[in-house]
Structure 1
Amino acid sequence: MKTIAIIPARSGSKGLKNKNIIDVCGRPLIDYTIKAALRSACFDTVMVSTDSEEYAHISQACGADVPFLRSEFTASDIAGTWDVVREVLINYQNMGQTFAYVAVLQPTSPLRSAADIKGAYNMLRKEGVSNVVSVTNTAHPVQWCFTLDHTLSLKNYADSPYVAMRRQELEPFYQENGAIYIVNAEKIMDKNYNIYKDQCYAFIMPRERSIDIDEEIDLIVLKAMIQSSRSCEEE
């Protein structure tokens, strides 16, 4: 079965300027995702969907295909990720290429490894699995969360049955980390298709590889983690 990895990378950013190509320890951010996708050896095609000629040139230099730029619609704020995916699949179909599965790999998840991608991809081989989404455990137990009213009283927290429980006694909760989505290419063409309701299963990733780059603090943490890893390798 033919598979394609789509790395969505619209230019600009409301937070970090041009974060998808920002320098991270000598490499553009998007390069980490491109290299992980290529090293996984799971895909017939690894492509970047962008609206920017600059992004396209950088992505191609990193090893990804960029056979076309986004349309005006998918380059806009109103388009969602799955709109981008559908456009990519249609364009490839017009070029005579079809795929059984499509993976979406956000460039803002740079520490997701080739092994993570391969692990998620291998889940598709299991009977009854149509879609795979990467998740990670929450950093803070949700049972310890609470609401505040205008008085800022902690009464809601004090009345919680979980307040005196140890972390080890609490049931773990998980959240999407945005690193890996692998879905049925034919089914995702239906705009009403809900990937989570059709035999969708979680691929669990550790928090240290689930960092999502959105703000300056995320970038600082990422650089520190990469530099620390390099130092450990040199020792």
Structure 2
Amino acid sequence: MKIAVIPARGGSKRIPGKNIKPFCGKPLIAYSIEVARQTGLFDRVLVSTDSEAVAEIARQYGAEVPFVRPTELADDHTGTSPVVRHAIRYCQEQGQAIELTCCLYATAPLLQPFSLLEGLQKLEQYPDKAFAFSVSSFAFPIQRALREIPRGGVEPIYPEHIGKRSQDLEEAYHDAGQFYWGRTEAWLSAKPMFAEHSMPVVLPRYLVQDIDTPEDWQRAELLYKAFIKEKNL
């Protein structure tokens, strides 16, 4: 059995009501729910929330909200993995055998079905791997990063690389913050995500935007509108 778990707390300080705030005409969480259902990969699509407002909208878009997330898993400091473990154990207590779980973030309107499928295929192809998750490349070589210094001005973080050509530096990737496929035993044993037992699913930068600030939100809407326009040409 394969399940999707979408963590979606009710609180958000920088963007109030972020998970259900209208994004290009629909609540933000609706995009993740719809993509999960569209793929046909999941036996259940669950939303884990502490908010009845989130739960109501999640159900409207076809997700299950079979439990209220416990208070101890609904504060600002709770990570994603404990929330996913709670959902897996809930299903197991119902007598369901969970083989694979995919955590989808509620803040991923640019998520595409083919990316989820690629993640699943990687785990099926490499049975020794525990996770497969979305990454994207940095737009600029991180080895040539700068930082401000207290007395004013800037300095290179890696002085040994600052004069090198971009093509001579190793490409670097970051967590794209969209989805995390994992085997049940890996989730329940709290294996680290960013390790050699995880497979990257590389996404193009135009399909990746973290949404933590109003500026992030505006950029994500612009990317979404541009991508949808391109698809419909």
**TM-score by shorter chain over 0.5:** yes
- Per-residue deviation at 1:158? 10
Partner of 2:83: 84
Which of the residues 220, 223, 230 maps onto 1:222?
A: 220
**Given the superposition, is the C-alpha separation of residues 10 and 148 from structure 1 closer, same or farther in structure 2, using an over 3 Å criterion?**
same
Q: After alignment, is 218-227 or 50-59 more displaced?
A: 218-227
What is the TM-score when the length of structure 1 is the normalising length? 0.90
- Matches of 2:158 and 2:230, distance apart in 1: 46
- Per-residue deviation at 1:63? 1.1
- Per-residue deviation at 1:85? 1.1
**Given the superposition, is the C-alpha separation of residues 48 and 158 from structure 1 closer, same or farther in structure 2, using an over 3 Å criterion?**
closer
Partner of 1:173: 172
Question: Is the contact between residue 134 and residue 203 of structure 1 (CA under 8 Å) also seen in structure 2?
Answer: yes
Partner of 1:27: 26
Partner of 1:138: 138
User: Which runs of structure 2 are paired with 1:177-216 in the superposition (5 Å)?
Assistant: 177-191=176-190, 193-197=191-195, 199-216=197-214
Q: Given the alignment of the two structures, is residue 14 of structure 1 paired with residue 13 of structure 2, yes or no?
A: yes
1:73-118 Cα distance to aligned partner (Å, 9 max, x none): 1122332211111111121122222201111111112101011111
**Given the superposition, is the C-alpha separation of residues 234 and 208 from structure 1 closer, same or farther in structure 2, using an over 3 Å criterion?**
closer
SS of aligned partner of 1:91: helix
SS of aligned partner of 2:96: coil
1:190-210 Cα distance to aligned partner (Å, 9 max, x none): 24x324446211111111111
User: Which runs of structure 2 are paired with 1:148-167 in the superposition (5 Å)?
Assistant: 148-154=148-154, 156-157=155-156, 160-167=159-166
1:41-66 Cα distance to aligned partner (Å, 9 max, x none): 22111111111111111011111111
Partner of 1:50: 49
Question: Is the contact between residue 38 and residue 46 of structure 1 (CA under 8 Å) also seen in structure 2?
Answer: yes
Question: Is the contact between residue 144 and residue 157 of structure 2 (CA under 8 Å) also seen in structure 1?
Answer: no
- Matches of 1:91 and 1:19, distance apart in 2: 26
- Per-residue deviation at 1:143? 1.3
Question: Is the contact between residue 112 and residue 179 of structure 1 (CA under 8 Å) also seen in structure 2?
Answer: yes
- Per-residue deviation at 1:161? 4.0
**Given the superposition, is the C-alpha separation of residues 134 and 158 from structure 1 closer, same or farther in structure 2, using an over 3 Å criterion?**
closer
Instruction: Quote the sequence identity (%).
Output: 31
Question: Is the contact between residue 143 and residue 158 of structure 2 (CA under 8 Å) also seen in structure 1?
Answer: no
- Structure 2: runs of 5+ lacking an equivalent: none
- Matches of 1:137 and 1:148, distance apart in 2: 24
CA RMSD between the two structures: 2.0
- Structure 1: runs of 5+ lacking an equivalent: none
- Matches of 1:108 and 1:90, distance apart in 2: 24
**Given the superposition, is the C-alpha separation of residues 95 and 207 from structure 1 closer, same or farther in structure 2, using an over 3 Å criterion?**
same
Partner of 1:94: 93
**Given the superposition, is the C-alpha separation of residues 53 and 136 from structure 1 closer, same or farther in structure 2, using an over 3 Å criterion?**
same
Question: Is the contact between residue 131 and residue 198 of structure 1 (CA under 8 Å) also seen in structure 2?
Answer: no
- Letter of the 1:188 partner, please give it: W
Question: Is the contact between residue 133 and residue 201 of structure 1 (CA under 8 Å) also seen in structure 2?
Answer: yes
Question: Is the contact between residue 89 and residue 98 of structure 1 (CA under 8 Å) also seen in structure 2?
Answer: no
- Letter of the 1:194 partner, please give it: P
Question: Is the contact between residue 4 and residue 44 of structure 2 (CA under 8 Å) also seen in structure 1?
Answer: yes
What is the TM-score when the length of structure 2 is the normalising length? 0.91
Question: Is the contact between residue 147 and residue 157 of structure 2 (CA under 8 Å) also seen in structure 1?
Answer: no
